[in-house]
Amino acid sequence: MSATSSVAGPQELLLQLLDPANRADPYPVYRQFRDRGPMQLPETNLTVFSAYRDCDEALRHPSSSNDRLKSTLAQRLLADSATPRPMGAASFLFLDPPDHTRLRKLVSKAFVPKVVNELRPDITELVDGLLDHIAERGRFDVISDLAYPLPVAVICRLLGVPLEDEPGFSRASALLAQALDPFFAVTGEPAEGLQERIRAGQWLREYLHDLIEQRRSQPGDDLMSRLIAVEESGDQLTADEIVATCNLLLIAGHETTVNLIANAILAMLRHPTQWAALGADADRAPAVIEETLRYDPPVQLVVRIAADDMTIGDTTVVKGDSMMLLLAAAQHDPNQFQQPETFNPDREAFQHLAFGRGLHYCLGAPLARLEAAVALSAVTARFPEARLDGEPVYKQNVTLRGLSTLSVAV
């Protein structure tokens, strides 16, 4: 299937978005979405937005819900099913106020910049250790040797999840990340491997339940122990909600920052002056990170449900319809960014949507930025001669798009 056909209809374009052949460079497909403007597919109760202004407006709109059960599609399925949530209780990412507000507030203190910045020495030590290993070898895989182990170690430490258990749940986390891909919305069928994903979800929930019981008798200085103390002190949250919250943080900590670090390394290796500039001046890290978040965002799209009839730009969305917001398309919108296809960390101050916007704005943004700043400034300074060593390989994921292999010679 060609990525650049200019006459694709709405359904064909959506299938191109799902097509693994377009994963390495989905941006020509996103351009076609923008050229078509908002797309409505009444037969599947779906509206797709790809312009920056529309995505921004939909994210801020008071009638935008993140509760999938409010969609017409889910309501139809529920009518035939006894289990409303086969994947367990929803995390606060997929809840609306007041539950969203209550649960987010309980963990938000742990992620504010002031608290996160206290992790800098630990993160620096972790990065230095990883780079020492690389230096001994002369070549490395960005994913397995740096971009993956760092955020995983940090989130496990924050939550109080033993790092020794990590190999077990990294597989579950990868499978659950695929559940965010919009196969059902586009094709009416889940992507292959649904049963495997459901089993992985069950396994992870049971693992977290067991860990919570251990922490209950032996509390530590970690987020899970603090949530247990809140649970025990009153009626602010339930054990299932602790599991759902830890699940969300664990998956967010596993599947996103890795892509930010790897996408930034790839962009700089393709623009070697940027690699050299950051290596010489660590203060450039925030500019590189914000431009990577715009240019090649780790989260390519998000979904919202119209809780009421609502209007975005000139488009009316009917209550219960799903809205697919193509953030990666919005961030290459020439009406918002000059020369959007150019990777330019020196562009004038700008606002991207890579961490979302509004109520569900990414809680982990300060942590992701810190981890990426430490990793990127250290790797560029330590390996000034680094260069790409073979073609990058992408995972199949559409929503949490990212590399599976990125070989670099140093």
Judged by the rule CB under 6 A, the positions of this chain that interact with ligand HEM are 66, 92-93, 104, 155, 248-249, 252-253, 256-257, 260, 298-299, 302, 354-356, 360, 362-364, 367-368
**Tokens read off for 10:** 């709405």
**Least distance to ligand HEM from the beta carbon of 213, Å?**
23
Of all residues in the shown chain, the one whose CB is closest to ligand HEM is 364
For ligand HEM, give the closer residue by CB, 364 or 392: 364
For ligand HEM, give the closer residue by CB, 93 or 310: 93
**Least distance to ligand HEM from the beta carbon of 343, Å?**
16
Beta-sheet pairing, 322-325 with 46-49: parallel
**Least distance to ligand HEM from the beta carbon of 256, Å?**
4
CA distances from 53 to 7, 45, 72, 322, 352 (A): 24, 22, 25, 18, 11
**Which DSSP symbol is given to 94?**
G
**Least distance to ligand HEM from the beta carbon of 385, Å?**
27
For ligand HEM, give the closer residue by CB, 8 or 158: 158
**Least distance to ligand HEM from the beta carbon of 65, Å?**
11
For ligand HEM, give the closer residue by CB, 160 or 356: 356
**Least distance to ligand HEM from the beta carbon of 32, Å?**
23
CB 29 within 8 A of CB 59: no
State the Cα–Cα distance between residues 391 and 380, nearest whole angstrom.
20
Tell me how crowded residue 35 is: count the other CB atoms within 10 A of its CB: 10
CA distances from 251 to 19, 231, 289 (A): 24, 22, 21
| SS3 call for 10 | helix
DSSP for 273-324, written as a single string: HHHHHHHH-GGGHHHHHHHHHHHS-SS--EEEEESS-EEETTEEE-TT-EEE
For ligand HEM, give the closer residue by CB, 16 or 300: 300
For ligand HEM, give the closer residue by CB, 110 or 194: 110
